[in-house]
């Protein structure tokens, strides 16, 4: 059996990854004052044993106001850095899987209740709420409290917050940074004409709407070691007529590549309740393909990728260079093992688990 493309190594910037499977960032809404705890050690620890090529820490807020909920992870002070350091030290004692972090700011979609309690936005005067900020004073839902439109000082403050989080990420020994510019959060809010109604140099034309996200990329890239990758997650479309779309995504991707972006991860939606998403297997893969046809940096596809043959087809046909998995990994933390077994690939497993290798897949686990 020919070696599956999914289990071929790939280079992202200066980093070598053992296969084409990325564990996508997944919010756990389980932090306390932005600080990771034992839940994150258990959650991330099991994923670090999965055989994937890269583990991405959930959306990590660069300011307290940038959290989606009051239970989000942050990296904005010494206490949040120390808590993350403890978790990372616990994982690294047993796994050498490269670890990335997604740096984020939720913009007008911040100050929310956790999903299992409804997820509604909490008012600024609520005990677990705060005043949100955005490109323009337009709420996500009509029932939400309007965000404050960021002025020049606010933009500078957020740029510096991303820079400081990047420096903390390096101190923690993280292997890569992903900048979150998708799903209707702050940087996506600047990109989309639905949420960005500014009349200054950060609004209006495509060039202007790209400006702040590109400034954030430049600032993070300059603050993080040159030999470590900085990537970006984007929404390939808003799924709303007149909103952000594939052509604009390609323009953004080209601009990012010119500035040294190491890879781009193509998701979709999140900026408008008017979105009409044709959800189904591979529904976002055409968005990744459109970007891949325009850039040379690696492109990551994501979204309802659950089956071995499906994942292999995405990378073997050239629709994308890698695939990212989230919910399927929560359901099956050894998803890469099972995919490798089905395709005839190999994965790394911890020595404590080597004797679990099935007889019919005698070459599944790579030797240390």
The Cα–Cα gap between 147 and 161 comes to 19
User: What H or E segment, with its residue span, contains residue 322?
Assistant: strand 322-325
- Contact assessment for residue 291 and residue 256, using Cβ atoms and an 8 Å cutoff: no
What Rg, from alpha-carbon coordinates, does the chain have?
20
185: annotated active-site residue: yes
Residues 6 or more apart from 13 whose CB is under 8 A from it? 176, 227, 228, 229, 230, 262, 263
Which residues, listed in sequence order, are joined to residue 233 by a DSSP beta bridge? 180, 265
Q: Which of 29, 70, 185, 202 is catalytic?
A: 185
- Contact assessment for residue 124 and residue 112, using Cβ atoms and an 8 Å cutoff: no
| Residue keyed to tokens 């009409």 | 276
- Contact assessment for residue 364 and residue 340, using Cβ atoms and an 8 Å cutoff: yes
Token output for 283: 């529904």
DSSP-derived pairing of the beta strands 99-104 and 54-61: parallel
The Cα–Cα gap between 249 and 239 comes to 13
- Residues forming the active site: 185
């Amino acid at each position: 059996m020919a070696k599956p493309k999914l289990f071929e190594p790939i280079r992202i910037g200066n980093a070598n990854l053992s296969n084409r499977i990325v564990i996508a960032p997944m919010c756990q809404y389980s932090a306390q004052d932005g600080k990771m705890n034992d839940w994150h050690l258990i959650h991330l620890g099991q994923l670090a044993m999965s055989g994937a090529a890269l583990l991405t820490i959930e959306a990590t807020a660069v300011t307290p106001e940038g959290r989606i909920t009051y239970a989000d992870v942050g990296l904005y002070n010494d206490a949040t850095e120390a808590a993350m350091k403890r978790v990372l030290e616990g994982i690294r004692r047993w796994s050498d899987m490269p670890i990335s972090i997604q740096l984020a700011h939720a913009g007008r979609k911040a100050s929310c209740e956790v999903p299992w309690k409804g997820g509604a936005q909490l008012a600024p005067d609520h005990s677990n709420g705060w005043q949100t900020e955005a490109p323009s004073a337009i709420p996500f839902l009509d029932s939400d409290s309007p965000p404050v439109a960021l002025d020049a000082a606010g933009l500078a403050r957020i740029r510096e917050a991303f820079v400081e989080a990047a420096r903390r990420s390096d101190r923690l020994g993280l292997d890569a940074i992903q900048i979150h510019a998708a799903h209707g959060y702050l940087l996506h809010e600047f990109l989309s004409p639905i949420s960005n109604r500014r009349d200054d140099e950060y609004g209006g034309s495509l060039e202007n709407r790209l400006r702040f996200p590109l400034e954030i990329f430049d600032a993070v890239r300059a603050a993080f070691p040159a030999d470590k990758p900085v990537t970006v997650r984007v929404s390939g479309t808003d799924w709303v007529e007149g909103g952000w779309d594939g052509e604009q995504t390609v323009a953004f991707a080209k601009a990012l590549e010119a500035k040294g972006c190491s890879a781009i991860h193509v998701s979709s939606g999140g900026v408008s309740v008017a979105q009409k998403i044709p959800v189904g297997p591979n529904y976002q893969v055409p968005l990744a393909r459109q970007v891949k046809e325009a850039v040379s940096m690696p492109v990551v596809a994501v979204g309802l990728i659950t089956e071995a043959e499906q994942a292999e087809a995405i990378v073997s046909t050239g629709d994308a260079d890698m695939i990212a998995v989230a919910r399927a990994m929560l359901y099956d933390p050894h998803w890469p093992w099972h995919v490798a077994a089905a395709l005839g690939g190999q994965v790394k497993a911890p020595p404590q688990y080597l004797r679990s290798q099935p007889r019919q897949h005698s070459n599944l686990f790579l030797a240390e």
